[in-house]
Amino acid sequence: MNEALILGVVFVVLLLAGVPISFVIGTAAVAALLMSLDPAAAVTVVAQRMATGLDSFALLAIPFFILSGQLMNRGGIARRLIDLAKVIVGRLPGGLAYVNILGSMLFGSISGSAVAAAAAIGGVMTPLMKREGYNREFCAAVNITSAPIGLLIPPSNIMVVYSLASGGVSIAALFLAGYVPGILLGLALMLVAGVIAKRRKYPVGEKVAMGEGVRIFLAAVPSLLLIAIVMGGIILGWFTPTEASAIAVAYTFVLSVLIYREIRWSELARLFTDSAATTAIVLLLVGTSMGMSWVMSSANIPQTITEMLLALTHDKVLLLLIINVLLLVVGTFMDMTPAVLIFTPILLPVVMKFGMTPLHFGLVLIFNLCIGLCTPPVGNCLFVGCSVAETTIAKVWRPLLPFFFAMFVVLMAVTYWPALSLALPKALGF
């Protein structure tokens, strides 16, 4: 009990002091172990657990998917997907809002990065929307809430992290389980955007001639083929998700550097450096979080919390609502990676006692934390979206509310209707 108290106090104090989350987690883990070990032994144990936690073949997918995302972001893929989205939904009332959402869905399904989608899609769409008379804050709200869809529609790095934290849930099954929730979220956001656009009488996009539409589609086909190559290969058993991430890098390199020629050879060194830096941040979070998870397990914290929650209620509906509220709160102040690694071993045993599968819980957990990316104080999509739209959080908060409501409605549907997540993996034998 003393270890749990020390862990919690040190974690909260350092977090409030503004210490980087990786160091918060590692320091809290060491501080908790000092209750039973000398300083040198405590540091050694946490270091060993960090190294053990990172010794996973599945984690190799993370640097590869990060690199492929960087190549896509700078390789002209976003612009071609936006052009395709204009052809598909641009003629609807408030068409550019639909284009932004659909563009984020398409880009996310290729890059797997919410922040990259907010920057790439928002960077192109926001100026276009403002020129057409769209409210600046509305543009930001659409971009901010649609960017996290890419974490639900595979490939998704956070699903790889959850697979590790949950003890080996199939990454392929997680990828497949994310399609329906991701698409439903996109449609819900489009519904909200459409109602607002119609009420404010935002303009309809220009009609695209048949020949131009075909040309735009053909230009986007090479980018869309990546989805078929990665997911098709995984489903057919040609390669593992980790191998698929390496294939994604090779394909996007050829596409961005050799075919589209949007990335010059001289830019590759900087691109590789940026990818390495991002990978280092993510894997440091993974390592320290695995160390903290081991400390929590040795202190019986997951079992204690399980008993507390079960003592609170035996109603499955109420318990799942409580867990969702808890995760929504966690998502407002903690980054996704440590949140997944810390709270999966705590909450997974609880929901499994009520018949929830680890696969279903993974989608619920990730969905909750996706919403956290859009909320202060640590919402990366919120900060990027406001920066791109040249507005402030104070101004964009009210326009975000109807989109948050739509996200919450879809979250509840995914939570209480397991088939939305499980039907597709089950149908394909995963």
The model's confidence at residue 199, banded by pLDDT at 50, 70 and 90, is confident
- Give the pLDDT score at 6: 84
- Give the pLDDT score at 288: 84
List, for residues 203-224, the tens digit of each pLDDT value. 776 677 778 778 888 888 888 8
The model's confidence at residue 418, banded by pLDDT at 50, 70 and 90, is very high
Cα(365)–Cα(253) distance, rounded to whole angstroms? Answer: 32
Q: Pick the residue with more confidence: 86 or 67?
A: 67
Question: 332: domain range?
Answer: 57-263+299-427
- Give the pLDDT score at 192: 93
> How many domains does the chain fold into?
1
- Give the pLDDT score at 90: 67
Global pTM value: 0.84
List, for residues 159-170, the tens digit of each pLDDT value. 888 988 888 888
What mean pLDDT do residues 233-251 have?
84
Residue 249 inside a domain? The answer is yes
The answer, yes or no, to whether residue 403 has pLDDT greater than 90, is yes
The model's confidence at residue 414, banded by pLDDT at 50, 70 and 90, is very high
Residue 268 inside a domain? The answer is no
The answer, yes or no, to whether residue 1 has pLDDT greater than 60, is no
Cα(308)–Cα(313) distance, rounded to whole angstroms? Answer: 9
List, for residues 123-160, the tens digit of each pLDDT value. 778 887 888 788 888 889 999 999 889 889 887 888 88
3-state secondary structure the chain: CHHHHHHHHHHHHHHHCCCCHHHHHHHHHHHHHCCCCCHHHHHHHHHHHHHHHHCCHHHHHHHHHHHHHHHHHHCCHHHHHHHHHHHHHCCCECHHHHHHHHHHHHHHHHHCCHHHHHHHHHHHHHHHHHHCCCCHHHHHHHHHHHHHHHHCCCCCHHHHHHHHHCCCCCHHHHHHHCHHHHHHHHHHHHHHHHHHHHHHCCCECCCCCHHHHHHHHHHHHHHHHHHHHHHHHHHCCCCCHHHHHHHHHHHHHHHHHHHCCCCCHHHHHHHHHHHHHHHHHHHHHHHHHHHHHHHHHHCCHHHHHHHHHHHHCCCHHHHHHHHHHHHHHHHHHCCHHHHHHHHHHHHHHHHHHCCCCHHHHHHHHHHHHHHHCCCCCCCHHHHHHHHHHCCCHHHHHHHHHHHHHHHHHHHHHHHHCCHHHHHHHHHCCC
8-12, 191-195, 201-205, 351-355: the lowest-pLDDT one: 201-205
Residue 136 inside a domain? The answer is yes
What mean pLDDT do residues 338-344 have?
86
- Give the pLDDT score at 392: 84
Residue 405 inside a domain? The answer is yes
As a whole number of Å, the end-to-end CA separation of the chain is 40
- Give the pLDDT score at 60: 82
- Give the pLDDT score at 218: 85
Most confident of 197-211, 247-261, 294-308: 247-261
185-189, 272-276, 366-370: the lowest-pLDDT one: 272-276
Q: Pick the residue with more confidence: 79 or 48?
A: 48
Residue 5 inside a domain? The answer is no
Q: What is the mean pLDDT of the chain?
A: 84
Residue 41 inside a domain? The answer is no
List, for residues 176-190, the tens digit of each pLDDT value. 999 999 999 999 999
Residue 271 inside a domain? The answer is no
Contact (CB, 8 A) for 178 and 356: no
The answer, yes or no, to whether residue 26 has pLDDT greater than 70, is yes
The model's confidence at residue 360, banded by pLDDT at 50, 70 and 90, is very high
- Give the pLDDT score at 205: 67
Residue 293 inside a domain? The answer is no
- Give the pLDDT score at 384: 83
